[in-house]
Amino acid sequence: MTQDNKQTPISQNTDEGRVFIFDTTLRDGEQSPGASMTMEEKLQIAEMLDAMGVDIIEAGFPIASNGDFESVQQVALLVKNAQVCALARAGKKDIDRAGDALRKAHAPRIHTFISTSPVHMKYKLKMEAQDVLEMVASSVTHARHYTDNVEWSPEDATRTDKDFLCAVVETAIKAGATTINIPDTVGYTTPQEYHQIITMLRERVPNIDKVILATHCHNDLGLAVANSLAGVAAGARQIECTINGIGERAGNAALEEVVMALNVRQDIMPQWTGIKTQMLAPASKLVSAVTAFPVQYNKAIVGQNAFAHESGIHQDGMLKHNQTYEIMTPESVGISKSSLVMGKHSGRHAFREKISELGYRLGDNQVKDAFVRFKDLADRKKHIFDDDIIALVDDEFAKGGDSIRLVSLSVVSGTEEAQRAHLVLEIDGVQSEVESIGDGPVDALFTAIKTLFPHEAVLQLYKVAAVTQGTDAQAEVSVRLSENGKSVIGRGADTDTMVASARAYISALNKLVIKRQRQAPDSMSA
């Protein structure tokens, strides 16, 4: 671990070049429609973020639900290096709930906010500017009772009156805020305008040099990364971002993009982060798998085609010298070129090493289960790649609870007769079986599951992807089910597409069983 990854000071001189990475994948990212995560998945992501050198992890919004509260609590217990942050609106109850959730964090931060734009104050808050100003002072003061590490945000800052923005920021600093975040909540600003806002605050607000200024940019116009970097150029030293840029609507600034832009263009942006860039691709895969949000092929840094050279002229140039068309290497962001990693004869020790190299931290029992699956896979598939192991381990994690377990499945498909599925499930320890027909094998299979475990959940997504190339590749299936406005993602991987489909559906049902006991989180912005 480099010294940049050590616990960061709460405030530092903004003339220095260290940029803090504040990841909000677990809070803003989870607010993406359809991206809700289980606690286990959140912990898995938090561990990855901590290991990759993220400075601050925003773990959730504790007042929203008991599930959110517990997730923040568990993340706070788990994380070793990063500061753990909880979001709270300006009210006392919200802040108390955030403070409670963070009680055991080694470096807690409370992030509180209130809207300051005319349109938000008038229609959302129904408050006068003077009352908002008083709320700023009282909320920051209250948060300081829990920790001296308090972040404050004027929601919709980029559409806030400039004089009023200076006044609220000054008030928050006076009340004890140590980080001031300037959210472009609606993704409306441009790099030049955002640069001017940060510059104005640095010129006009007393004691602004005593706090860290932060960017929080949304991508509605595709400018989130550019705006964040413009903020840094103007003196901001914290970037709020998410893996794969997930988040409300068009999402947030993508962590991997801001980090690599600073990394590759040191010549004109002499700022740096503490991120281990080799973990960017594994982190992207993990978040994509957990949310079942595919990463677009041409996505910068982590897309499947980001380092692919198709045209003859480019390939020729690459063969002569890779710098002809490559501004960074795939290895620098953790993309290994289809590395053939393991085979039939690899032992458990090598397997454990490999999964930890891929960024996973598994318990002994999880390693044992995953290793059994790996041996089984190695019997059926000649070459096993990193991606196979990632799919397999993700599948282990995706099981959710295990009220429902797949015992056996056989499916008949083809042109000659109706497609049939014969399925045996164990539900709360009791085995039962059924044979169903359907309009195609998947339909027959899902009908069989529904017969053995009746439910009202609606199938919203069924997606099959090949983990690697070749006809013996594992199929990775994602299934999204929704029930009473709650949605869950189940995943399954197997060389047999039907078995992977059954696993995915059952994993979603297992999660739904857990989720039934929870409330849905409020919708939040900031």
Q: Which is nearer to Mn ion, 243 or 404 (CB)?
A: 243
183-242 residues near Mn ion, rule: CB under 5 A = none
In this structure, the number of other CB atoms found within 10 A of the CB of residue 204 comes to 15
CA distance 19 to 260: 13
Least distance to Mn ion from the beta carbon of 33, Å?
14
Q: Which is nearer to Mn ion, 78 or 87 (CB)?
A: 87
Q: Which is nearer to Mn ion, 229 or 393 (CB)?
A: 229
Binding status of residue 170 toward Mn ion by CB under 5 A: no
Q: Which is nearer to Mn ion, 28 or 170 (CB)?
A: 28
Q: Which is nearer to Mn ion, 28 or 394 (CB)?
A: 28
- Both tokens of 187, joined, read 């993704």
Of 24-32, 304-312, 386-394, 395-403: span binding Mn ion (CB under 5 A): 24-32
203, amino acid identity:
E
Per-residue mark of binding to Mn ion, 259-278 (x: CB under 5 A): --------------------
Three-class secondary structure of residue 162 per DSSP = helix
Q: Which is nearer to Mn ion, 185 or 273 (CB)?
A: 185
Of 22-30, 296-304, 326-334, 408-416: span binding Mn ion (CB under 5 A): 22-30
Cβ(519)–Cβ(66) below 8 Å: yes
Least distance to Mn ion from the beta carbon of 280, Å?
21
Question: Shortest CA distance to 228 belongs to which of 505, 238, 249, 470?
Answer: 238
Least distance to Mn ion from the beta carbon of 252, Å?
6
- Both tokens of 425, joined, read 């499930």
Question: Residue 474 pairs with which residues in a beta bridge?
Answer: none
Q: Which is nearer to Mn ion, 247 or 334 (CB)?
A: 247
Q: Whole-angstrom distance between the N-terminal and C-terminal Cα of the chain?
A: 33
Three-class secondary structure of residue 116 per DSSP = coil
Of 20-28, 207-215, 227-235, 329-337: span binding Mn ion (CB under 5 A): 20-28
DSSP string for residues in 28-94: TGGGSTT----HHHHHHHHHHHHHHT-SEEEEE-TTS-HHHHHHHHHHHHH-SSSEEEEEEESSHHH
Shortest-Cβ-distance residue relative to Mn ion = 28
Question: Shortest CA distance to 287 belongs to which of 22, 19, 1, 23?
Answer: 23
How many helices (DSSP H) and strands (DSSP E) are in the chain?
Answer: 16, 16
| Size of site (CB under 5 A) for Mn ion | 1
Least distance to Mn ion from the beta carbon of 168, Å?
18
CA distance 407 to 59: 36
Binding status of residue 28 toward Mn ion by CB under 5 A: yes
Binding status of residue 55 toward Mn ion by CB under 5 A: no
Least distance to Mn ion from the beta carbon of 282, Å?
25
Q: Which is nearer to Mn ion, 247 or 282 (CB)?
A: 247
CA distances from 226 to 216, 266, 503 (A): 12, 16, 41
Least distance to Mn ion from the beta carbon of 524, Å?
8
- Show Cβ contacts of residue 314 under 8 Å, excluding neighbours closer than 6 positions: 324, 325
Of 21-29, 81-89, 320-328, 443-451: span binding Mn ion (CB under 5 A): 21-29
Q: Which is nearer to Mn ion, 28 or 40 (CB)?
A: 28
CA distance 210 to 11: 7
Least distance to Mn ion from the beta carbon of 240, Å?
8
Question: Residue 242 pairs with which residues in a beta bridge?
Answer: 254
Q: Which is nearer to Mn ion, 248 or 476 (CB)?
A: 248
Least distance to Mn ion from the beta carbon of 185, Å?
6
In this structure, the number of other CB atoms found within 10 A of the CB of residue 243 comes to 30
Of 27-35, 43-51, 314-322, 406-414: span binding Mn ion (CB under 5 A): 27-35
CA distance 214 to 280: 22
Least distance to Mn ion from the beta carbon of 385, Å?
36
Least distance to Mn ion from the beta carbon of 84, Å?
18
Question: Can you give the binding site for Mn ion, defined by CB under 5 A?
Answer: 28
